[in-house]
Structure 1
Amino acid sequence: MTTPILPDIEALTLAAIRARLPGIRVVVDIPSDWDATRPLIVAHRVGGAAEDARFLDRALMDVQVWYRDRRYASMLARTVRMALADACRDQFSDIEGALSSFTEVSGPWCPGPEDDTGLTRFIATYQLTARPAHRKEM
């Protein structure tokens, strides 16, 4: 039997958010070509560890929502929270594996306007777990 490889939890997280918010740009890093007149969601792993390197990864995911309108940014951040909670409850999956558990660690909260740009950023941290897909041996 082949030992399964844990899924790319960042890719699963991005896909789950995109499925709920198809018109919003969702990325791992702030892109150099970002048009700040459009909302942006940045989600990436900032920690965590595999509970069992064969079967369960528990990741801390930093999620940031950027936009110039504070109220809309807040709503979008809260929508992302529910998208991830729902994705874990529903076992959102791709070919590599599935999300399986959601815990809110912090957020969403706003540190204030970013410099003189007039942009608002909401930050949240979630603990997500993922398990590998069950694959049949060939």
Structure 2
Amino acid sequence: MKATYTILLLIMSNIFMTFAWYGHLKFKEYNWFSNWSLFKVILFSWLIAFFEYMVMVPANKIGFEGNGGPFSLWQLKVIQEVVTLVVFTGFTLLMFKGEVLRTNHVIGFVFLVLAVYFIFKK
């Protein structure tokens, strides 16, 4: 149960972080956002990132084996990286229609999934 909860929180945190880091690239298409200075964009991204931290910190706290969770620090980090790629891929393909998922991207992702395998291997 803690493993599932941890992964769900990691997914939520990565959704927020993806919007904080890359959402402004899409939002510039909207009138209300197009004239914002870089400073305003940074502040807006920080506001979104605040919510990312509100779920990332509990995910790591709940998931860490030192706190009774199922994952080592290494495992938490690798899970987070894979979740980041999955969320980023979905975001990119949905929000940026001109971007294409290419074979080399998939091959790179396969290697990251292999990293998960090796990190979890006892």
Higher helix share: 2
TM-score, reference length from structure 2: 0.29
TM-score, reference length from structure 1: 0.27
Higher strand share: 1
